[in-house]
Structure 1
Amino acid sequence: MKRNLMERWKIWLLACRPRTLTLSLAPVAVGAALAFSEHGGLRWSAVVVALLASALIQIGTNLHNDAADSLRGADGPERIGPKRVTAAGLLAAASVERGAAACFAGAALGGLYLVFLGGWPILTLGLLSILCGWLYSSGPRPISATPFGEIFVIAFFGLGATCGTYWLAVERPGHAAFLAPIVAGLALGLFAAAVLLVNNHRDRVEDARNGRRTLAILLGPQGSAALYAALMLAPFSLLLPLDALLPSQYTLVALAAAPLSLWLIRGFFHEPPGPGFNLILAQTAQCQALFALLLCLGAVF
């Protein structure tokens, strides 16, 4: 009995895609660090709830994507990415959909407290995040099947999460103060878009066969590699203007993540099509996490 529960737990953990969960946590942490850097204090309860809500939205999006793609026949036997639990028959689609709904409901519940603190801007951001998380894999034209997935990621896993956390963490933020979280959020969003691009580049043959038109399909292999390089380098160009916007002068420490970024760019250009891109995808998320961690340390200390 205990072994069966452990196996089921592992299956659900696989469905949540923990290797990229930092994509939803990093912008919240950076938004909080910027608020602390500029104002010397935080609404800690708001930051903790924002972390939980952001993670739940990403997990809900992943679960719904797992079930929806399986029902569309998008995760066939030719798939070279990590195993998807619904397509592999490990969990029923209805169970995975219920899990996604529970995650979105949990995020909405936490959002009630955040709306109480942050007002209508947080209400708008929360509703749009949950709605787009659902539409990412639903509707007549899911976002994941269009060239706009990377824009969605930049908007919600970069700008929205960073600026929303900053708004919540500071009781009365001024309009001018929002320049720093906008710049930082854009940097983190570009990394997150690079993660999605790796995913779509890896799956472009199967995706095209299923009628998808992702950015990776439209650009082709060389175009995708060039865009990946741009997405992985652009965040470092934003460090100088960010440093000028903050009272702390240590955000340039995030440049220490640049060698890893360059190494991943080289890997993207030279890796042959196949499962090797699974590792590049995970390491791209790790590069964003390292960048965010260094940015937090530089902003606070």
Structure 2
Amino acid sequence: MLKYWILAARPKTLTAALIPVLTATALAYSEGHGRWQPALLCCLFAAIMQIAANFINDLFDYRKGTDREDRLGPERACAQGWITPRAMTRGIVITLILACAVGCGLLPFGGWPLVGIGAACVLFAFLYTTLLSYMGCGDILVWVFFGIVPVCGTYYVQAQMLTPSVWWLAAASGLVIDTLLVLNNYRDRKQDALSGKRTLIVALGEQFGSMFYLLQGVAGCVCVAMLAFYDHTLCAILPLLYLVPHSLTWREMVRINQGRTLNRILGKTSRNMLIFAVLTVLALL
């Protein structure tokens, strides 16, 4: 049973949750504000919230019947019948309680405004799967909750302030991480259209989706390069190396075009995101 919960947690997606926290911490340390205690708590909160969001996505996709044959994977625990909807509901409650408990540990570092931010994270974890992803808002949520919120929040609890460099890093993080969602929506565009899920790619077309994937990676590098204007010169050089695997992955994605074969591009996109994060951390430190 434990292995099914691990599959449902989708460990591979934790990279997306941790990248903004790690890069923001590197920025804080490079500017003399690094503190390991709030940084560790931010990592734990981000990871647990990502697991909770994956559980929520699993449960509500099952209830809506949006899983189709070419989208089913071992991580879809409810659809596979390995975890009952009632058990998954309990899992959601437990992980959210754990996330809130960890979040409370951040209050001494960031104050009561963090309660509102945490509540928004919980609320939109539900709204994304149940409503907003059907309205073409998924990419906006990624920019906010994998860019602005975690990067600015992680930096603030360590430095007690926000600087212009933080906002550029937040923009870069959100853009690069959203390539993973864009790839998912590119792969599922036909099924999404049938089920009434109007992602940007369903609304604007396949060609838009492929260019959207490519250009977000480019825009992410442009944003992180702006940190060179704030005494982080290497940020205009090292992260550019990310564009090599990113462009090669994009070419392979366009060549494959559709079907479950695109699942292998998910792993390569996650790898590319990690490369971007490592290069950014090295540039900052």
Place the TM-score, normalised by the shorter chain, in its bin: over 0.9
Alignment of 1:98-177 (within 5 A): 98-138=90-130, 142-170=131-159, 172-173=160-161, 175=162, 177=163
Q: Residues of 2 paired with 1:23 and 1:200: CA distance?
A: 16
Match of residue 249, structure 1, among 227, 233, 246: 233
Q: CA deviation at 1:53?
A: 0.4
2:4 equivalent to 1:11: yes
Q: Residues of 2 paired with 1:121 and 1:283: CA distance?
A: 37
TM-score, normalization by structure 2: 0.94
Q: Which residue of 1 aligns with 2:27?
A: 34
SS for the counterpart of 2:80 is coil
Q: Which residue of 2 aligns with 1:270?
A: 255
Pair 185,298 (structure 1): closer, same or farther in 2 beyond 3 Å: same
What amino acid sits opposite 1:15 in the alignment?
Answer: A
What amino acid sits opposite 2:256 in the alignment?
Answer: E
Q: Residues of 1 paired with 2:134 and 2:92: CA distance?
A: 19
Match of residue 44, structure 1, among 14, 19, 36: 36
Q: Which residue of 1 aligns with 2:85?
A: 93
CA RMSD of aligned residues (A): 1.6
SS for the counterpart of 1:90 is coil
Does the 8 Å CA contact 1:61/1:136 hold for their aligned counterparts?
Answer: no
Does the 8 Å CA contact 1:228/1:265 hold for their aligned counterparts?
Answer: yes
Q: CA deviation at 1:80?
A: 5.8
Q: Residues of 1 paired with 2:203 and 2:88: CA distance?
A: 31
What amino acid sits opposite 2:241 in the alignment?
Answer: A
Q: Which residue of 1 aligns with 2:15?
A: 22
Q: Residues of 2 paired with 1:153 and 1:125: CA distance?
A: 15
Superposed CA offset, 1:256-287 (max 9, x none): 21111111111122113111221112221221
Q: Residues of 2 paired with 1:66 and 1:103: CA distance?
A: 14
Q: Which residue of 1 aligns with 2:191?
A: 206
Q: Residues of 1 paired with 2:63 and 2:240: CA distance?
A: 43
Q: CA deviation at 1:78?
A: 4.4
Gaps of 5+ in 1: 1-7
TM-score, normalization by structure 1: 0.90
Q: Residues of 2 paired with 1:256 and 1:51: CA distance?
A: 26
Q: CA deviation at 1:83?
A: 4.8
Gaps of 5+ in 2: none
Does the 8 Å CA contact 2:185/2:199 hold for their aligned counterparts?
Answer: yes
Point out the structure with the larger helix share: 2
Aligned sequence identity (%): 32
Q: Residues of 2 paired with 1:151 and 1:211: CA distance?
A: 19
Q: CA deviation at 1:250?
A: 2.1
Q: Residues of 1 paired with 2:105 and 2:37: CA distance?
A: 10
Q: CA deviation at 1:57?
A: 0.8
Instruction: Figure out how many residues of one structure are paired with residues of the other and give that number.
Output: 284
What amino acid sits opposite 1:9 in the alignment?
Answer: L
Match of residue 234, structure 1, among 201, 219, 223: 219
Does the 8 Å CA contact 1:166/1:181 hold for their aligned counterparts?
Answer: yes
Q: Which residue of 2 aligns with 1:4?
A: none
Q: CA deviation at 1:77?
A: 2.9
What amino acid sits opposite 1:95 in the alignment?
Answer: A
Q: Spell out structure 1 runs of 4+ moving beyond 4 A.
A: 80-83
Q: Residues of 1 paired with 2:188 and 2:63: CA distance?
A: 17
2:182 equivalent to 1:193: no
Q: Residues of 2 paired with 1:26 and 1:248: CA distance?
A: 19
What amino acid sits opposite 1:168 in the alignment?
Answer: V
SS for the counterpart of 1:102 is helix
